[in-house]
Every structure is written in structure tokens, then in C-alpha cells.
């Protein structure tokens, strides 16, 4: 089932025509009942005009901005009025209003296992709007409830495809480090699921992401340990570079001959002074002064 437009004209113009038809029908009835020639024909025509006027007036429909009116004729969908205003349309139809406004749905905080089996808590906001009124009303039982259920199902599925975080490979997509990519994947999956309901997904964003309470403390310690190791590695690499440059400059610029034992002592002192977290105190060696 696809949305289609139904016959509708300007309501003010239609109302004027209906009033004129009603007055004309009443006048013909008066002439027919007053004994004018062809009285039966006038009465019939007048009655017909009055019925047409009443049917036309009964089909007046008011459509609010950013809403649509879906029309069914004796159980059959005949079309939709998506323009706002007052219209004269097909009489004897049942009219159902449906909002075309942009809406959002905040999912509950869901507890799922990521791709590595770690329990995580995740939630998202879904921004959507109805683009096909026929499918929204007739293809699913309740399109708003359908959006909620399918959104939570898609969030659970996406969360199981990625790890919360990775400590081995920086190129692997994660829920915490690649929220934009994860949101885009969620948008595509939701759009496929909600196509049948005539709903367009405008945007999805993760609003809550955390390790579950039972493992949050342990995973935090792991993250801190990883950060400390990474920082130590950077410090050691810098200390080695500084030490090598100091030895080379002493030998080249100061023209000081340094023995291997002195090099080792110098390297040890410089490395310790750079790497240690506490302040160092210099010690003057007076062995050669004696």
C-alpha cells in the first residue's frame, strides 16, 4: 500500500457552491409545490440539489499544519490530503488525522553484552517522522509503538556487533570510540526495519553508554592501567632519545672522551631523572678531585 492524493478542492469555494445549490434547490421546491408547470420535475431537481449541497457540506475537512487527513470510503483507502487548510472532498468518507511532525523517541537504558561478552548499558534517541500515511495507519497496528519496539531491538543488535572498547587494536570500531559510525549503522538498520511503517529515520544518537555496574570498577582499573602503560612508554622513548643526544653532544661539542663505564653511569642518571615521578636531587661525585 502506498500513499496517494485524493480529490479535494478549496473548502471556502466549495462551501459557497454548496450554499448556492441549497438555496437553488429550496427555490425549486417552492416553485414545484406552488403549482408551477412541470411541478414534479422542479421538486425532483430541487430535492437533488439540496441533497448534493448537504453531501458536499458534510465532506468539509480541516487539516492542521504538519498534519494529514487519511480518507477511507466504506473500508477502502482512497487517498490522503497532505495540504493544510479547509477542503471539500469525497463525501461519506471516514477521515483519520495523522501527524507529520518530526518526533523523537528516547529508548530505555538497555543492558546487553557487547561483541566480547562484556555487559554494557546503552540507550539512544531516535528522531523520526511519518512520510507515508497509508503504511503508517494500515500496514502496522500502531506505528508509534512499532517504532519503539523496533528501535530497542535494533539498539540491542548493534551493541552486540561492536566491543565497548578495545585494548589491543586501535583500528577496530568500538561503541565508545566510534559513536558516529555506530549511530550511522543504527540509522541504516532502523530505516530498513521501519520502511514498512512509512517512517523515515532522520537521526539516531547514543545518549548513554557505560559498563554494567558489576564490572564497571574492574574495567575502570583496566583502562587506567592501559593509560599508565601508554604514558610510561612515551616517557621511556623520550628519555632514550634525550640520553642519546646528550652523550653524542658531549662527545662532539665538548670533546670529552667518555669511557663505556661513564656512558653507562650517565645514561643511568639521565634515565632515572627523567622517568622518576618524584623530584631528583643532584649528587656531586668528588672521586677525581682527591
Q: At residue 206, does pLDDT exceed 70?
A: yes
Tell me how far CA of residue 101 lies from CA of 6, 105, 125, 287, in angstroms: 21, 13, 16, 86
Q: At residue 210, does pLDDT exceed 70?
A: yes
Same domain? For 148 and 184 the reply is: yes
Same domain? For 169 and 73 the reply is: no
The total of structural domains in the chain comes to 3
Q: Identify the CATH number of the domain in which residue 148 sits.
A: 3.30.479.30
> Contact, 6 vs 89, CB < 8 A?
yes
In a domain, 165, yes or no: yes
Same domain? For 119 and 200 the reply is: yes
Q: What is the average per-residue pLDDT within 142-151?
A: 93
- pLDDT tier at 70 (50, 70, 90 boundaries)? very high
| 222 CB-near residues (< 8 Å, 6+ apart) | 167
Rounded to 5°, angle at Cα 154 from 151 and 160: 145
pLDDT in tens, 118-129: 888 999 999 999
In a domain, 53, yes or no: yes
Q: Give the other-Cβ count within 10 Å of 213's Cβ.
A: 10
SS3 category, 238 = helix
Same domain? For 32 and 77 the reply is: yes
Q: At residue 223, does pLDDT exceed 70?
A: no
Same domain? For 204 and 224 the reply is: no
pLDDT at 274: 65
**Is the four-CA dihedral 196, 202, 208, 214 of positive or negative sign?**
positive
From the list 239, 185, 179, the residue with the least C-alpha distance to 209 is 179
In a domain, 223, yes or no: yes
Same domain? For 77 and 116 the reply is: no
In a domain, 253, yes or no: yes
- Residue at a domain's end among 165, 183, 211: 211
Same domain? For 137 and 223 the reply is: no
In a domain, 1, yes or no: no
In a domain, 107, yes or no: yes
Cα distance between residue 246 and residue 264, in whole Å: 12
Same domain? For 158 and 207 the reply is: yes
Say which residue, 290 or 24, is predicted with more confidence. 24
Domain that holds residue 119: 103-211
Same domain? For 107 and 207 the reply is: yes
**pTM above the 0.75 mark?**
no
Same domain? For 122 and 199 the reply is: yes
Amino acid at each position: 500500500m502506498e500513499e496517494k492524493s485524493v480529490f479535494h478542492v478549496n473548502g471556502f469555494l466549495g462551501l459557497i457552491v454548496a450554499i448556492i445549490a441549497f438555496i437553488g434547490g429550496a427555490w425549486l421546491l417552492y416553485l414545484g409545490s406552488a403549482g408551477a408547470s412541470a411541478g414534479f420535475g422542479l421538486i425532483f431537481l430541487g430535492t437533488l440539489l439540496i441533497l448534493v449541497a448537504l453531501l458536499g457540506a458534510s465532506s468539509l475537512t480541516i487539516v492542521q499544519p504538519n498534519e494529514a487527513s487519511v480518507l477511507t470510503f466504506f473500508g477502502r483507502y482512497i487517498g490522503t490530503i497532505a495540504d493544510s487548510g479547509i477542503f471539500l472532498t469525497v463525501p461519506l468518507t471516514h477521515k483519520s488525522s495523522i501527524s507529520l511532525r518530526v518526533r523523537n523517541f528516547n529508548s530505555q537504558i538497555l543492558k546487553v553484552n557487547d561483541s566480547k561478552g562484556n555487559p554494557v548499558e546503552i540507550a539512544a534517541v531516535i528522531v523520526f517522522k511519518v512520510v507515508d500515511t497509508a503504511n503508517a495507519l494500515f500496514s502496522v497496528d500502531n506505528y508509534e509503538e512499532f517504532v519503539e519496539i523496533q528501535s530497542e531491538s535494533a539498539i540491542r543488535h548493534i551493541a552486540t556487533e561492536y566491543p565497548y572498547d578495545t585494548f589491543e587494536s586501535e583500528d577496530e570500531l568500538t561503541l565508545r570510540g566510534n559513536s558516529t559510525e555506530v549511530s550511522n549503522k543504527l540509522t541504516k538498520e532502523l530505516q530498513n526495519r521501519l520502511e514498512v511503517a512509512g517512517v523515515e529515520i532522520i537521526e539516531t544518537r547514543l545518549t548513554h553508554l557505560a559498563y554494567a555496574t558489576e564490572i564497571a570498577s574492574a574495567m575502570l582499573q583496566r583502562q587506567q592501567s592501559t593509560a599508565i602503560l601508554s604514558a610510561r612508554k612515551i616517557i621511556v622513548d623520550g628519555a632514550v632519545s634525550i640520553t642519546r643526544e646528550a652523550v653524542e653532544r658531549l662527545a662532539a661539542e665538548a670533546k670529552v672522551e667518555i669511557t663505556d663505564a661513564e656512558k653507562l653511569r650517565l645514561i643511568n642518571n639521565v634515565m632515572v631523572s627523567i622517568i622518576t615521578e618524584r623530584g631528583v636531587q643532584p649528587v656531586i661525585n668528588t672521586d677525581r678531585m682527591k
